[in-house]
């Protein structure tokens, strides 16, 4: 099994190019099946969750061709199966967007219950409530979510919980419903806006994405388009925190600074300098992080996906910090791994981490529990004294393109190793 071997201690310094947003690309690829015409999508990240959904789409008759590494051509004019039950789709969350897309276009969809990172119970009741409000009969049978309608009729839907996935999924289906759909208490994340912009570029009529009320006037048909996905806010935030944790100087390029505001605010609060230009942000950390408090919230609040990253920074800060997770009930599973590197963190009530800063991590053998925690643990190891090995890195590859190569470009001592011999070679080389 491949692992990362890391020798910590180097401040990360330099520029890093941010890829397209995985969590925008997944729904946009699914939504691209709603037209029979050809769609070109640029800035697609080369990560394993995207490969999986593209393979599944090929398997049901969608023509998919990478014209470049980050550009995909899709044509869904010959879909031959509306039942998506392959094993790969059980593993990722984004598979549920095929439900909204197929229900919208074909008024029939059957998709395996979605998986994704084990960070909480991750209900999908709001998706199902939205589809039902549009007139679909929806039920779960043999592990598949099945949705069927004679016709979809626009409706007024209030989301009981702010959900990125449910907002996007219902918005996708409502695009081809009859009449107007209003989604209230919708999620406002940049990728919700990106999906709406993509659909509008295909001829949809969606207004208000990015606010908490989205209005969708159903249209009869969508057409082909060319569209570029927004930069990945979470990948950018990860490298910004990598600068903070390793006392480095990193410029993230190809970002939208407005999307990064809550992350920038916290970096300033913990004592980093942040310089902003049109499409890049530079983070300079010349001293150890300072203590603070943070609570994860839906956008524009501090993202839950960044929670492990800020915890890794605060565990090095002098004094006591508190991190409260308000989105998922099980997102501190990585804390025991961080403890192996010397962190002093108590998790209370499942949602609050009380962190006493330790000043320095020490290298250890670490196992990754989920995608974002995995990136955070790698960053911790890069700042630690001595060597670490990180296993289960397949989680990281789901959402970060060329993660270790980008880190290495910034001066990190990190290598993919497969055997004990490879690891010993790495130790000798970096010793
Ligand atoms: C998306 O998950 C992202 N995944 C997650 O990123 C991210 O953490 C999350 O949004 C929050 O920003 C993808 O886009 C593929 P939600 P999603 O619906 O859409 C509850 C990553 O690392 N809820 O906004 O599944 C739910 O349990 C991943 O890239 C319901 O109760 O998140 C959670 O507590 C990890 N009923 C909260 O809402 C529902 O029907 C927010 O979930 C739906 C959600």
pLDDT in tens, 293-311: 999 999 999 999 999 999 9
pLDDT at 251 over 90: yes
Instruction: Using CB atoms within 10 Å of the CB of residue 153, give its burial: 0 to 12 exposed, 13 to 18 middle, 19+ buried.
Output: middle
As given in the structure block, the two tokens for residue 201 are: 């570029």
Task: Please answer whether residues 281 and 260 qualify as being in contact, where contact means their C-beta atoms are separated by less than 8 angstroms.
Answer: yes
pLDDT of residue 37: 98
For residue 372, give the ligand 1 atom closest to its CA. 22
- Best probe residue, ligand 1, of 165, 230, 305 (max atoms within 8 Å of C-beta): 165
pLDDT of residue 120: 74
3-26: average pLDDT = 98
pLDDT of residue 155: 97
320-324 β-sheet, strand order: 293-295, 320-324, 352-356, 344-348
pLDDT at 195 over 80: yes
For residue 122, give the ligand 1 atom closest to its CA. 27
Q: What is the DSSP letter of 34?
A: G
The protein residue with its alpha carbon nearest to ligand 1, atom 16, reads 163
pLDDT of residue 297: 98
Instruction: State the Cα–Cα distance between residues 125 and 165, nearest whole angstrom.
Output: 11
For residue 329, give the ligand 1 atom closest to its CA. 34
Instruction: State the Cα–Cα distance between residues 141 and 143, nearest whole angstrom.
Output: 5
Which segment of 75-89, 139-153, 188-202 scores lowest on mean pLDDT? 75-89
Å from CA of 343 to ligand 1 middle: 28
Å from CA of 287 to ligand 1 middle: 34
The protein residue with its alpha carbon nearest to ligand 1, atom 9, reads 164
The contacts of residue 371 (CB under 8 Å, 6+ apart) are 117, 395, 396, 398, 399, 400
264: confidence class by pLDDT, cuts 50, 70, 90: very high
12-34: average pLDDT = 98
The protein residue with its alpha carbon nearest to ligand 1, atom 43, reads 124
Å from CA of 327 to ligand 1 middle: 8
For residue 114, give the ligand 1 atom closest to its CA. 25
pLDDT of residue 89: 76
For residue 168, give the ligand 1 atom closest to its CA. 19
Å from CA of 163 to ligand 1 middle: 6
Å from CA of 233 to ligand 1 middle: 15
The strand pairing partners of 28, in sequence order, are none
Question: Which residue is associated with the tokens 């050809």?
Answer: 38
Query: What is 256-279 written as a DSSP string?
Result: -GGGGHHHHHHHHHTT-EEEE-SS
35-54: average pLDDT = 97
Of residues 205 and 431, the one with the higher pLDDT is: 205
- Mind listing the pLDDT tens digit for each residue in 54-104? 999 999 999 999 999 999 999 999 999 999 988 877 778 888 999 999 999
pLDDT at 115 over 80: no
The contacts of residue 199 (CB under 8 Å, 6+ apart) are 31, 171, 172, 175, 206, 222
Instruction: State the Cα–Cα distance between residues 173 and 138, nearest whole angstrom.
Output: 13
For residue 164, give the ligand 1 atom closest to its CA. 24
Mean pLDDT of the chain: 96
Instruction: State the Cα–Cα distance between residues 304 and 376, nearest whole angstrom.
Output: 13
Cα 405–chain centre separation: 19
Q: In the Cβ-directed half-sphere of 35, how many Cα atoms lie within 13 Å?
A: 25
As given in the structure block, the two tokens for residue 126 are: 């709001």
Instruction: State the Cα–Cα distance between residues 165 and 98, nearest whole angstrom.
Output: 12
- Best probe residue, ligand 1, of 23, 308, 400 (max atoms within 8 Å of C-beta): 23
The protein residue with its alpha carbon nearest to ligand 1, atom 41, reads 163
Instruction: State the Cα–Cα distance between residues 65 and 263, nearest whole angstrom.
Output: 35
Å from CA of 249 to ligand 1 middle: 32
Instruction: State the Cα–Cα distance between residues 292 and 137, nearest whole angstrom.
Output: 48
137-141 β-sheet, strand order: 83-84, 108-112, 144-148, 137-141
Of 343, 312, 363, 398, the closest CA to residue 118 belongs to: 398
- Best probe residue, ligand 1, of 90, 91, 122, 300 (max atoms within 8 Å of C-beta): 122
- Mind listing the pLDDT tens digit for each residue in 325-373? 999 988 999 999 999 999 999 999 999 999 999 989 999 999 999 999 9
The contacts of residue 352 (CB under 8 Å, 6+ apart) are 322, 323, 324, 325
190-200: average pLDDT = 98
pLDDT at 248 over 90: yes
Instruction: State the Cα–Cα distance between residues 67 and 280, nearest whole angstrom.
Output: 27
Bridging pattern class, strands 180-184 and 205-207: unpaired
| Active site (annotated) includes residue 117 | yes
* Helices marked H in 282-431: 307-314, 335-340, 371-383, 394-397, 403-409, 420-430
Torsion angle, alpha carbons of 258, 285, 21, 335, to 10? -120
Percent of the chain with pLDDT over 70: 100
Residue 16 is inside which H or E element, if any?
A: strand 13-17
Cα 65–chain centre separation: 23
Å from CA of 333 to ligand 1 middle: 17
Q: Which residues line ligand 1 (CB under 6 A)?
A: 23, 26, 93-94, 117, 120-127, 161, 163-166, 187, 303-305, 327-328, 371-372, 399
Bridging pattern class, strands 280-284 and 273-276: antiparallel
- For 282-316, b/e burial (b = at least 16 CB within 10 A) is bbbbeebbbbbebbbebbeebbbbbbbbbbbbbbb
Of 324, 347, 316, the closest CA to residue 334 belongs to: 347
pLDDT at 116 over 80: no
Task: Please answer whether residues 173 and 128 qualify as being in contact, where contact means their C-beta atoms are separated by less than 8 angstroms.
Answer: no
């Amino acid at each position: 099994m491949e692992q990362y071997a890391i020798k910590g201690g180097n401040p990360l310094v330099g520029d890093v190019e941010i890829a397209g947003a995985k969590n925008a690309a997944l729904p946009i690829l699914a939504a691209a099946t709603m037209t029979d015409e050809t769609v070109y999508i640029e800035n697609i990240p080369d990560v394993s969750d995207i490969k999986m959904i593209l393979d599944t789409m090929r398997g049901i008759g969608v023509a998919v061709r990478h014209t470049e590494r980050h550009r995909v051509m899709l044509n869904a004019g010959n879909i031959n199966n509306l039942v998506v039950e392959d094993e790969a789709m059980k593993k990722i969350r984004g598979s549920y967007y095929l439900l909204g897309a197929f229900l919208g276009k074909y008024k029939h969809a059957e998709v395996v219950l979605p998986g994704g990172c084990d960070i909480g119970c991750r209900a999908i009741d709001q998706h199902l409530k939205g589809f039902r409000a549009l007139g679909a009969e929806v039920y779960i049978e043999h592990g598949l979510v099945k949705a069927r309608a004679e016709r979809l009729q626009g409706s007024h839907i209030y989301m009981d919980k702010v959900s990125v996935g449910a907002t996007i999924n219902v918005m996708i289906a409502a695009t081809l419903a009859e009449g107007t759909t209003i989604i209230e208490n919708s999620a406002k994340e940049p990728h919700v806006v990106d999906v709406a912009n993509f659909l509008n570029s295909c001829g949809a009529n969606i207004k208000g994405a990015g606010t908490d009320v989205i209005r969708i006037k159903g249209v009869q048909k969508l057409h082909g388009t060319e569209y570029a996905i927004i930069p990945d806010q979470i990948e950018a935030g990860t490298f910004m925190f990598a600068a903070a944790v390793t006392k480095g100087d990193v410029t993230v390029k190809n970002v939208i600074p407005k999307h990064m505001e809550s992350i920038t605010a916290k970096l300033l609060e913990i004592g980093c300098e942040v310089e902003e230009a049109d499409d890049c942000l530079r983070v300079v950390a010349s001293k150890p992080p300072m203590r603070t408090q943070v609570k994860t919230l839906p956008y524009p609040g501090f993202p839950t996906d960044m929670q492990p990253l800020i915890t890794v920074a605060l565990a090095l800060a002098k004094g006591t910090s508190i991190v409260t997770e308000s989105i998922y009930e099980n997102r501190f599973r990585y804390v025991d791994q961080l403890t192996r590197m010397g962190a002093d963190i108590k998790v209370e009530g499942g949602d609050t981490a009380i962190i006493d800063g330790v000043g320095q991590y020490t290298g250890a053998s670490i196992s990754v529990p989920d995608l974002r925690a995995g990136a955070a643990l790698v960053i911790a190891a890069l700042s630690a004294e001595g060597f670490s090995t990180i296993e289960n890195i397949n989680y990281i590859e789901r959402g970060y393109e060329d993660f270790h190569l980008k880190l290495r470009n910034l001066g990190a001592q990190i290598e993919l190793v497969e055997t004990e011999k490879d690891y010993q070679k790495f130790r000798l080389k970096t010793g």
